[in-house]
């Protein structure tokens, strides 16, 4: 095998591994359908759906990790607060934000949302590759009517097959309560499950349910 063929094969293997972990790997054009510049990173498909279906709004990214979902929305004029317990994740997020023009600077907070952290008010809440049943229970009670929650977490089926993640609190189980919220979208794909829920209220929007 030549060096070029080896590089191509390694690239395909890496792409396959990244996709299996839920990453979106870009290999196409430089701009998306809305004319936005595409980059080497991409958000959760659930977050991309919200950006397509909802008007610009306020959002809290709970367990933001490296910040790509928060930065993606901020680049589309959303107002974001991004929270993570790991300082290196918050710093990576800040660095990513510096590489993208945003209208409203992201508020980065380094704290553990599973503690006494009071989740700020917002229209949209993200649990992307992070979920905690206790935080969801608090948020379900405190969020305003019409609020939307987007969840991407490992599926119950995946946990049963692999033993990962170890804590069932981090998985949306079949027994997890929706606390009377409307389920606008629900899908399982690969190791992940995707859900969009909305608290009953005057600002209900059914359009989120259609990808």
CA angle (134 as vertex; 131, 136 as ends), nearest 5: 60
**pLDDT digit string (tens) for the chain, length 211 residues:** 554 454 455 445 545 544 444 444 444 444 444 444 445 578 999 999 999 999 999 999 999 999 999 999 999 999 999 999 999 999 999 999 999 899 899 999 999 999 988 898 999 999 999 999 999 999 999 999 999 999 999 999 999 999 999 888 899 999 999 999 999 999 999 999 999 999 998 656 555 654 4
- Between the CA of residue 87 and those of 45, 94, 124, what are the distances in Å? 25, 11, 23
Which pTM does this prediction carry? Answer: 0.79
Residue 62 is inside which H or E element, if any?
strand 58-62
Judge contact between 117 and 83, C-beta under 8 A. Answer: yes
| Structural domain 36-209, CATH architecture | 3-Layer(aba) Sandwich (3.40)
Sheet holding 79-84, edge to edge: 107-110, 79-84, 58-62, 124-128, 148-154, 192-198, 182-189
Going from the C-alpha of 60 to that of each of 40, 53, 93, 190, the distances in angstroms are 24, 17, 14, 26
């Amino acid at each position: 095998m030549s060096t070029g063929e080896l590089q191509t094969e390694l690239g395909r293997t890496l792409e396959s591994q990244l996709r299996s972990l839920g990453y979106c790997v870009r290999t196409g054009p430089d701009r998306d359908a809305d004319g936005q510049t595409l980059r080497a990173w991409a958000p959760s498909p659930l977050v991309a759906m919200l950006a397509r279906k909802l008007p610009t709004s306020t959002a809290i990214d709970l367990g933001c990790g490296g910040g790509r979902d928060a930065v993606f929305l901020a680049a589309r004029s959303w107002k974001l607060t991004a929270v993570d317990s790991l300082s290196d994740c918050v710093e990576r997020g800040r660095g990513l934000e510096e590489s993208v023009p945003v209208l409203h600077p992201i508020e980065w907070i380094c704290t553990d949302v599973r503690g006494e952290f009071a989740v700020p008010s917002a229209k949209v809440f993200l649990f992307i590759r992070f979920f905690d049943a206790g935080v969801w229970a608090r948020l379900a009670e405190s969020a305003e009517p019409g609020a939307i929650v987007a969840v991407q977490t490992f599926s119950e089926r995946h946990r049963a097959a692999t033993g990962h993640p170890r804590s069932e609190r981090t998985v949306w189980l079949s027994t997890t309560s929706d606390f009377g919220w409307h389920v606008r979208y629900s899908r399982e794909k690969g190791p992940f499950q995707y859900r969009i829920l909305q608290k009953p209220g005057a600002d209900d929007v059914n359009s989120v349910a259609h990808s």
